[in-house]
Amino acid sequence: MERLTVLVVGMTNKVGGLENFVLQYCRRMTAENVRFDFLSRFPDCVYADRIAQMGGKLYTVTRRSRNPFRFYREIRAFFAAHGREYDVVWDNETMMNDMTPLRLAAKAGVPVRIYHSHNAANMDPNLKGRAQELLHRLHRRGLPRYATALWACSREAVRWAYPRGDMPAWVIPNAIDTADFAYSPEVRAACRRELGLEDSFVVGNVGRLQYAKNQRFLLEAFAGLHRINGRARLLLVGEGPDREALTRRAGALGLAESVLMPGFREDAARLLQAMDVFAFPSLFEGLGIAAVEAQAAGLPCLMSEAVPRAAGVTELASFLPVDDPAVWAEAMARAQSAPERRDHSGEVARAGLDIVEAAQALTARLFQLRARAGEASRG
């Protein structure tokens, strides 16, 4: 059977949406006769054990920000030694501040070179982030010189990566294993019991604790809900640089005992079962896969208007502005009288967001891209 070799670029040392997306797809596409190797800028790259289990190799180079001279020397040496081993380079990024992997892949003659955009705006508002955004805006003009295809998690992410719109672009669904999120009253009861939430109304959020996810705003909104319902609890699942600031703010609002922050959890899908409403006030998102997962679990889902509308795949989704916490407090309060919860995982699957079918479709697309590249080289 024909085999495809793919080099995946972009995995970091943090568990996040990008990393989970890549791992979910690669695990299933490996069974479709695709071999994945990985090139990371982090020596402690996440999921190294799972990459090995898939039969893939993990290569690392020094981060450019740590030592640019060593980075360029190592990545050039890598592509000189291994570039011709690959049919595809699949570069997964949130910002196009470094085109080196695609540029060197083109020089090495890799026939299919994909830039995959996983965000729709700059995630970092500080000085370093603004400098990276400047590089992003400069580099994206030259994307067609090095990439043969543009993939993205949403139309908004396509525009962020390449607003000119004159090169092939596809929206690749941030698909999930819908069976993992199917609503279960038994799991809900057990999880709420373990967390001490049996008699609580639980507002939940899953995501990295950082500026873009806007959990500080959520705290302010939750404070309004808590004044209405003293049994309300806020469950913030995730880890990140804003953890300490969020803890301090919860204390200042008198909510220290009402806000639970269990950190990063491998069983986030299970924790969704314990929630009563999902609040997602992000300042921007590539898509907002956590909100899709929440809908699959049957949760009313409040999203900011900055989240792409494509994330609203069921009638459980609603979109709100993030300029007034009181509006969110009122919406959370209304969710207390929501209809009886039921499983919506089938609706999410029918929307094309089940990983099994999505992985098969993506495998077919990779083989098509390689075939077209071969025809173009012969023509």
Pair (136, 26) in one structural domain? yes
The tally of domains found in the chain comes to 2
Check residue 323 and report its DSSP letter: S
Domain match, 53 and 92 both: yes
Amino acid, single-letter form, for residue 55: G
| 373 and 313 co-located in one domain | no
Q: Residue 379: its pLDDT value, please?
A: 61
pLDDT at 14: 87
Q: Are residues 278 and 132 in the same domain?
A: no
199 and 154 within one domain:
no
pLDDT value, residue 190: 97
Where b means 16+ CB within 10 Å and e means fewer, 157-174 reads bbebbbeeeeeebebbbb
Distances (CA, A) of 80 to 38, 69, 101, 177, 257: 16, 17, 12, 38, 57
Q: Please state the separation of Cα 26 from the chain's center in Å.
A: 15
Quote the pLDDT of residue 374: 82
Q: Which residue has the tokens 């898509």?
A: 287
Residues 305 and 214 grouped into a single domain: yes
Residue 377 to residue 367: CA distance in whole angstroms: 15
Residues 162 and 249 occupy one common structural domain: no
CATH of the domain at 153: 3.40.50.2000
Same domain for 207 and 132, yes or no, is: no
Task: Let me know whether 240 and 212 are in one domain.
Answer: yes
Domain range for 69 is 4-175+354-378
- Are 212 and 331 in a shared domain? yes
Q: Indicate if 263 and 336 belong to the same structural domain.
A: yes
Answer yes or no: do 252 and 281 share one domain: yes
- Average pLDDT for consecutive 10-residue bins of the chain (379 residues)? 89 89 92 91 94 95 94 98 97 90 97 94 76 85 94 93 90 94 97 97 96 96 97 96 97 98 93 98 91 97 95 96 97 95 95 94 95 79
